[in-house]
A and B are shown apart, each in its own frame.
Chain A
């Protein structure tokens, strides 16, 4: 019988209103890379939080290297040699790499005083052994995202972890950094570590994992040898039905330029220039994708276009009209639609009902308001009922349901429905499928393409390169606030875009 590094048997964990894990079993061999696959909300993170001691299970048992254990809190997990690399890094920005790594278990000399040189030596040894090149003396704020992740990995190694959990580690990386991470994972395995990889990206599983356990809606679906299955098989296990990867898309028939951005410069709230001298045109009937790693000015570009942030320099034209200095409301009236990146923050008022949310951009106009400024709730409800029907929004109490009580996918549908129903000339779409399940993703992508075919000009910002490649007709790659190059979708490969995302101009045709 082969030895299991981790055995979690019949784990059940409930939260108010949800069963996050329902009799889930996970068995991970020693020295393997084991992928944990599932959609958002399938219970992956809950299961791993139980293993890491952040939650306690309602029932079930956990064995680590054959010993029955009770992981009450993360300290117990650390003692057992379990480490976790979180999706959002937990680094102190103005500490050095070494200081970050030793934080909480600082080495001391015999006088009880912090001995950083000892720590640095150990960090250097570890990074050489596992191929994690990073300067121990560098400030955390000065290193790249990929290097920050390595610091997180070093943190776990410094604490002698031999089981390392990676929570969606590739979400913030460029394609090249992803390749490097895959190499690091293999190296860790060779050096005797056991890896659990939480992900919903099938490619990565095929590339690096030995076995894969699939969860769906909190239930255990199965564990497979990755070599024996195709991506298609994994997707079906994950979703529970056949999935189509490719999107049916007719060639675009671009018309006149609808959105023209000329030499745009935008600062963030603190005053740093985040978008610098950026120019891009979007024509009617085409989708232009903005590809780039998170934090390269995408958000500020959208803020500048929508009017949420003032434009420092440059101009924005909608259908030939200069809107650079117009208010947000005037821009909306000129035909600017916006599906925002952050649904909770910008997209919806969660205390408002669906019908109030559907009218939030034109409530002050007839038929929702009359000339005396009085609201017509009935018209709002009728409109919302139509949208609920048309966009298949699942709401418990119909148009009166508070938006905050909807699932993420249905919230996004409300926003998409609202924006589309306003018939914008230009539609800005940011991260439209983030955090949604496969069904909703398919639906929303179809809708976006349908809007393109209706002759809307669409600017799509996404951190998922797959989404950009699948949906867009032209791709503008953004790096450090400027467009590196704009290519036709069929004239460029993911690899080339990846290089440009990292700032290299070499791939420019």
Chain B
């Protein structure tokens, strides 16, 4: 009986903590991935070797160390984290921002335009480009927020549609940039790049750049706005119970519009960083980069908290970086998508786990009562 009690409290404690659930869910996703690889007749160990290498730069097969992989993993993580923050910020206010992709594309586009056409003054040039990306992202999200708040247009529908508008608008604009072919533009001037020579030196010429600092600032800002300001208080109240917030005088219309604008700004920043940090030239997009969509999963795994989203973003960045390594070790890179998908499905199953917990509690209580009855 005593043991059962302990089990119960342990299970309850686990299920009560969203963080622990996320960790368990990730482990479960990897477990399923491992089994899948074994089922198709490959050695699952190779997947973990690839992951180890993308995480630490250590190649266990030949004992060589290349810190560049660490840099690349971190660099891949930046847009995942920022797009995750975009989704998460809206989610905390009770909105579903599927438009991260469109906001990301707009940010990327504006950053490319300013990089190619802006004033070639050191620092000012890339600052302008980044702020342009943030601003267009905020506008792109804010429009959705205003439509939602004032006219009750579903943000899901309008963001999905805006994603396509963004993609093709981006193509139209970028095809008119200097030196544009069907897939790329001319190279940026040096002043537009986010390269960080210190990072380059310590990570053996990886693409890790100043965008990393911006991501860290964004994460801190996210936490600060949500938890420490009156603006965040009003937004959280709106997200939990819109009606009660309205009845208490909280300007929910403003909260909703503003939260979408801030969400858009995070995604726009991601676009700007990718445009100026990971490439030396502007891209004429033929398809979506999918950072915005993956941001939804990142926010889900991270429970829409600042720290959780950052950790989940690192996970996704690491998996992306591990893809090429896996292929060289005969592991299909698609396994990473399967693992990501499974993680999202398992997160969604959380409510199922909660039901199981309730059922357990109930049975426990019944047993105790029966026992008392017998004792009487």
Contacts and interface: CB of A to CB of B under 8 A. Distances in A.
Interface of A: 12, 14-17, 19, 58-59, 306, 308, 327-329, 331-333, 338, 340, 345-352, 356, 360-361, 363-364, 368-369, 373-375
Interface residues of B, number: 28
B102 to A, nearest CB: 30
Contacts of A331: 249
A329 B236 CA distance: 17
B186 interface: no
B164 interface: no
B233 A375 contact: yes
A346 B240 contact: no
Interface in B233-281: 233-234, 236-237, 240-241, 243-251
20 contacts: A12-B373, A16-B358, A16-B361, A16-B362, A58-B369, A59-B370, A308-B247, A327-B251, A338-B247, A346-B243, A347-B244, A349-B244, A350-B240, A350-B241, A352-B236, A352-B237, A352-B240, A373-B230, A374-B229, A375-B230
A364 B247 contact: no
Interface in B205-252: 228-234, 236-237, 240-241, 243-251
B165 interface: no
A369 B245 CA distance: 17
A329 B362 contact: no
Contacts, number: 87
Contact of A14 (B233, B240, B249, B366): B366
B124 interface: no
Given A59-B373, A340-B247, A346-B243, A375 B229 contact: yes
Top 5 A-B pairs ranked by shortest CB distance? Answer: A329-B249, A346-B247, A369-B230, A351-B240, A360-B248
B365 interface: yes
A19 B369 contact: yes
Contacts of A59: 370, 373
B369 A17 contact: no
A348 B230 contact: no
Interface of B: 228-234, 236-237, 240-241, 243-251, 358, 361-362, 365-366, 369-370, 373
Contacts of A332: 248-249
Q: Taking each of B237, B240, B241, which has the highest tally of chain A beta carbons within 10 Å of its own beta carbon?
A: B241
Nearest to A12: B369
B45 to A, nearest CB: 44
Nearest to B243: A345
Contacts of A346: 243-244, 247
Contact of B248 (A15, A16, A333, A361): A361
Contacts of A373: 229-231
A349 B245 CA distance: 8
B230 A15 contact: no
B244 A329 contact: no
A12 B374 CA distance: 13
A10 B246 CA distance: 48
A485 B351 CA distance: 52
